[in-house]
A and B are shown apart, each in its own frame.
Chain A
């Protein structure tokens, strides 16, 4: 533990790695926080971030493009009740920091409050993304054969393949948060994502699909098994489209395959449980805490703690501990997802869901890794139970209207279920439901929970954050399938 006192030296402190990375000192931080509280304000924080990201890409058979970006900046937030003042700057000099803090301070209009007398680095964070090969140590020459090899394997896998695109992205990030209580939290935030996309042609018809994997990990993430899976899935998901027929239109039972179908939870309940929408009274779940909303075998969590998951975090972007939040316990709605503003509003402990895209934005209640726990049914039993319906396997996107509760998710690949059997593939169909209604209608849950390994990104208020999702095989008794015919 390290502390800040009035007589502390002005240079970067020994032993606190990121102070030097940002070129700031404890004194600068303390002065910034004092300026932030110069008009009252209940709470202030400064969020420094340095993120270096790099992509290399293959198109038309050559590794011939690369993209790199560096983001460096600081955001200053002042909170008064549930009001927020915010400013950010990419100039980390003291005058710029203080000006930014004074801007944020304008949300309050009372007498000045003192800044923290001491800063103390909070230790003891979990390590949910231990790195074997950090990206800062991986040379481009090591990444090139990986993407070039995937390109060759995709072409070799199926003669119908006409175009292949591969992208490998890596990020090496560091954040430092200090707040008006004197707390200092540092974290590194690695991320990687690999994307393989395939265009195939058969008798003049073209189909396109792909597969992607993502995680908070270093170069070691790309094991031979994972790379094999990327090629196989990208090819399989594309070639099945040639057999696909249009999905039917109208209400019918929908069976969701284990894994990325967790998008149902993300849209049908996750967003509606973000506490800012509830404290404002604009969520369809605003008056449902403690009430049954699903069958007793339905349990849903939002989890920061899956090691290496894209949605894993060691600590949230307000410096609060982040663990496993039980949204639905035995069918009963248990708690919202809180940031510190909503936690104070409701008089509860923060749940570690205060997240932000970058220093350019204030934190908001956001999901991390959202999934349903295993249930009592068997996968075959679920499929056999459906006379006519849809089995959904892969998804590209989803959306929700928070207050009306209507949500959608888009199915890239699925199957018709006829008389308890998967018959023909279907593709490109939007499914639409209403959150509380759909949860009530989850009437079978299998024991085969899988957390998807894809690069899911969640958007809210113009901010994108990485998330994960998962689901066991689940049956929803009825949703509207946006296909054609009947």
Chain B
């Protein structure tokens, strides 16, 4: 591990910075009253970010593709979630699909 002191400073700066990013929204919103239409856009923006997060986490690894096992697992989980299967099954099925495929050599 590199210099522990520098790592500690890095962790603390990341903590303060992340908290600032998180509280920025609530602080801004109490200063300015947003029109109802903007509120909907804000909610849509959050959903767009979350969807992009799901897609990149499921399909990519670093700068490349994530292979087959992980996307397949997420796909199975997604289909089950659409069919309103209990949440625990969604999670277990996603992990089990990815693990099962890897077990038989599909990465």
Q: Do A and B come from one complex?
A: no
Q: Which B residues contact A (CB, under 8 angstroms)?
A: none
Q: Which A residues contact B (CB, under 8 angstroms)?
A: none
